[in-house]
Structure 1
């Protein structure tokens, strides 16, 4: 096979790079923010967004302080997180995405993944808001660590 044909074949078999349309993060409670002084997930999301040239959206708010999850069972974590989050309606208008030609890809970032209860709860809230606005949305998640 000629060198030119080899390059063409290689180019055709490469997958296009995956790229989200925006980045968001899991919010912490006001108490945790005061204790820690920053939100690790927010810092990760902002750094990634700047590096990749993507918008970082302050999309979610934590409605209740769920406390530390480390001593709770898996079932307790999922139950605790059920109503912990809501959309910051003044920050993001999903209806702006109605005419987007393909599913909007949102990357949701958290610092630690243990059971998935936090990401699951955030995902449900985001998908519900998108559905109400008749927007097709795909959520992808990224965490710094797994415990």
Structure 2
């Protein structure tokens, strides 16, 4: 209920709730026009930030590259020989402030930041939904998987956590569709060429999940429905799922640099579902 979400946000701010990032008490601006996120639930999370922290978010206002949404000319997209995703959009620029926030959440386990991080990601989702970048609503949302070793070290997958909140807010069923084939070195320490090589062949579709979608009537070959589809969901989310002729799948991740990770994930999905369209929502664009 949108009016209830707005009321909760007003009450939280009026009660002087501490900012989840810096811990200070503050009253950020309540003007909806100040936020690039229109959905009441993520907007409420952003309004829990103090005015200073809210002002530090470097939202990407204008997408110059039509493919990845980079705010300037993008050599990576021009050089890419094969692109397996349709479009990507990032919510914010990956500046020093965003690096600090992501490190607090991702590496130091500051879980109270999770709703705010997901609310920032919502900016990328809404940018896709409100533009020609995505011609129709998404049917499923999934996330870039972590290697088992990294998952054990960290204890959670930040992309999955944020994607599941997006699923709840926008009623897009969350389904884990990808798995890591091998452990790879961290991308942050690599150049463009090494990033491409590091990600090549690194992902595969989860056979059980893909077969489950096929069982609901999605064809591997031409995207035609094979039989009538019951109104059920293959995920634990509350959204209902009824596959269309072509699945529009949204992949969530935290950082987009060259696009190699997103491209390999999209390739893996299309290996299992050749007729699907893949889009990317990124928390930040470096």
Q: How many residues are treated as equivalent by the alignment?
A: 128
The 5-angstrom pairing of residues 53-92 of structure 1 reads: 53-92=171-210
Q: Which moved more, 1:113-122 or 1:86-95?
A: 86-95
Aligned to 1:29: 147
2:285 is aligned to 146
Give the C-alpha shift of residue 18 in structure 1.
Answer: 3.9
- For residues 7-66 of structure 1, what are the alpha-carbon distances to aligned partners after superposition, in whole Å with 9 as ceiling and x for unaligned? xxxxxxxx9x84100001100111111121110110111110111122111100011111
Flag the 1:68–1:101 CA change in 2: closer, same or farther, 3 A.
closer
Q: What corresponds to 1:117 in structure 2? A: 260
For the residues of structure 2 that align with 1:119 and 1:88, how far apart are their CA atoms?
16
| TM-score, normalised by the number of residues in structure 2 | 0.42
Aligned to 2:248: 105
Where 1:141 maps in the other structure, the secondary structure is strand
The C-alpha deviation readout for 1:78-130, integer Å capped at 9, x for no partner, is 11111111111012325331215542110011111111110010011111211
Q: Tell me, yes or no, if the aligned pair for 2:218 and 2:245 is still in contact at 8 Å.
A: no
For residues 171 and 210 of structure 2, what CA distance do their matches in structure 1 show?
19
Preserved CA contact (<8 Å) 1:57 1:92: no
Please, which moves more after superposition, 94-103 or 21-30? 94-103
Alignment of 1:49 with 2:167, yes or no, is yes
Structure with more contact order per residue of length (Cα contacts < 8 Å, sep ≥ 6): 1
What is the SS of the residue equivalent to 1:23? strand
Which stretches in structure 2 are left out of the alignment for 5+ residues? 1-131, 220-224, 226-242
Secondary structure at 2:208's aligned position in 1? Answer: coil
TM-score, normalization by structure 1: 0.80
- Structure with higher strand content: 1
